[in-house]
Amino acid sequence: MGRLDVEGNKNAALPLLAACLLTDAPCELTNVPRIKDVQVMAELLQGLGASVDGIGTSRLRVQCDKVSGDEPDRRLVGRLRGSVLLCGPLLARCGRVRLAPPGGDFPARRTLSAHLQALGAMGVRRREDTAADYVLEAPGGLVPASVYLEEASVTGTETALLAAAAAPGESEIRHAACEPHVVELCEFLTQMGAEVEGAGTPTIRVSGGARLAGAQHRLSGDYIEAGSWAVVAAVTGGELEVCGARAADLEPITTILRHMQVDCDVDAHRLRVRPSSPVAIRQITTAPWPGFPSDMVSLISVLATQATGRTLVHDWMYELRLFALEQLSGMGANLFLCDPHRMIVNGPTRLTGRTLDSRDLRSGMALIAAALAATGTSRIQPLETVERGYAQLVERLRALGAQIDVEQS
């Protein structure tokens, strides 16, 4: 049986790092994932005047005595969608921020509307001096607000939380996201001195404006990473033990795996997957927490190619995510893309290797899983896309028995 440990939750690390800008005191984060996205966020903080020690390790120490500018590095912003999380802290400390269009995965529906809505309610105005950049100003400072988010956006909720922690008074965020990483941000802000109630529910109340102190926090294990490795084991008929993620966080994923008759069990911080003969289920639909996460839809679609029967995969949350999986047809998969949100997969099919394009983080990992299940050789590029969210990817795959060569550019 193979074994690996997942590191901290990527989707918690980025907002926690942004929160460190809310104080001039030192903060320390441990169990930080050693991934590209975290490195980019750390470099963004450094560019704004913060000292960041431990980049490339699982322990980061951040302190920002003085903010040296209100415009995060455009080149780095273009590589990281999570850079939008810097807006609230910069508005709190500078009263202004100029943000280039954030990059990362396919933009799809992932606009900044929820962020702008929350910030607008808190006294922030967008200056329309350019077509592309987001120039935001809070000349009177951030003000507390009661806001109903247009959608339960995770990063939109986090932007609202970061701003509310700095706004003097009581704020209420309704239709808030409930994901575990949102809860982690609430816990961190509480340690810093903000009063936060309702974490993990659709209504969060924040009493902000106090001088925030430094804090220490150990990140919880990344349940999306753990679920990804579980699918890799399932599609290859392997046996794997994945440690580090909480059972409660894994439940939306393991419920679907069991429904597909993948032999798996989970205890407090350990997920075991054994060789199985997966079967199709009528429909898999993504949903906000605690539903099946959209970040897993690409991987579960690859598993469906190896399951007996027909599965309808429905990701109503984001366009284009399923489009990246059309490449599976060239590997021999029997699938039909109904529209940008729905795909019918018939299995099992024998996959054969081919050249693949890792167009976004999660579909890239899904294509790696497909390549491992396929006969012959596959060439997947760019690898850096997947390394944005999976630490030591090549080393871990090799340790589990995969035959991988990395071409030098």
Burial of residue 144 (number of CB atoms within 10 Å: 0-12, 13-18, 19+): buried
170 neighbors 143 (Cβ within 8 angstroms)? no
What percent of the chain lies above the pLDDT cut of 70? Answer: 97
The helix-helix angle for 247-259 and 223-236 (nearest 10°) equals 30
pLDDT of residue 106: 53
Domain map (residue ranges) of the chain: 9-218, 223-399
**Three-state secondary-structure class, residue 379:** strand
Predicted confidence at residue 321, as pLDDT, reads 77
Average pLDDT for the chain: 94
Side-chain-side CA neighbours of 274 within 13 Å: the count stands at 6
**Catalytic residue positions?**
105
CB within 8 Å of 219: residues ≥ 6 apart: 7, 8, 9, 12, 13, 16, 29, 30, 31, 32, 33, 184
Q: Mean pLDDT check: name the lowest of 75-84, 252-261, 321-330, 348-357.
A: 321-330
Which of 90-99, 320-329, 397-406 is predicted with the least confidence, judged by mean pLDDT? 320-329
pLDDT recorded at residue 128 = 77
Average pLDDT over residues 307-334: 90
pLDDT of 409: 63
Partners of 205 in beta bridges: 172, 197
Class of domain 9-218: alpha beta
Q: What is the pLDDT of residue 194?
A: 97
The per-type count for the chain, helices as H runs and strands as E runs, is: 13, 21
Half-sphere exposure of 260 (CA within 13 A, CB side): 34
Judged on CB neighbours under 10 Å (0-12, 13-18, 19+), 110 is buried
Residue 105: the pLDDT is 61
Could you tell me the two tokens for 245? 């993620």
- For the chain, percent helix, then strand, then coil, each to nearest 5? 35, 25, 40
pLDDT of residue 110: 60
What are the tens digits of pLDDT across the range 369-400? 999 999 999 999 999 999 999 999 999 999 99
The pLDDT value given to residue 132: 81
Per residue in 94-126, pLDDT (tens digit) is 999 999 999 866 544 467 899 999 999 999 999
Report the pLDDT value the prediction gives residue 107, as an integer from 0 to 100: 47
Whether pLDDT at 178 is above 90: yes
Q: What is the mean pLDDT of residues 324-344?
A: 93
The alpha-helical segments, DSSP class H, found in 195-305 are: 223-236, 247-259, 297-305
User: What is the pLDDT, as a whole number, of residue 168?
Assistant: 97
CB 310 within 8 A of CB 346: yes
Q: Is the pLDDT of residue 84 over 50?
A: yes
Name the CATH superfamily for 223-399. Answer: Enolpyruvate transferase domain (3.65.10.10)
Closest CA to 343 of 378, 305, 307, 372: 305
User: How many Å apart are CA 114 and CA 198, to the nearest integer?
Assistant: 20
Q: What number is the average pLDDT over the span 291-315?
A: 97
**Position 219: which residue type?**
L
Out of 15-29, 97-111, 295-309, least confident range: 97-111
Half-sphere exposure of 123 (CA within 13 A, CB side): 19
- Tell me the average pLDDT across 54-58: 97
CA dihedral 127, 128, 131, 134 (to 10 degrees): 10
Q: How far is CA 124 from the centre of its chain?
A: 26
Same fold, 9-218 and 223-399: yes
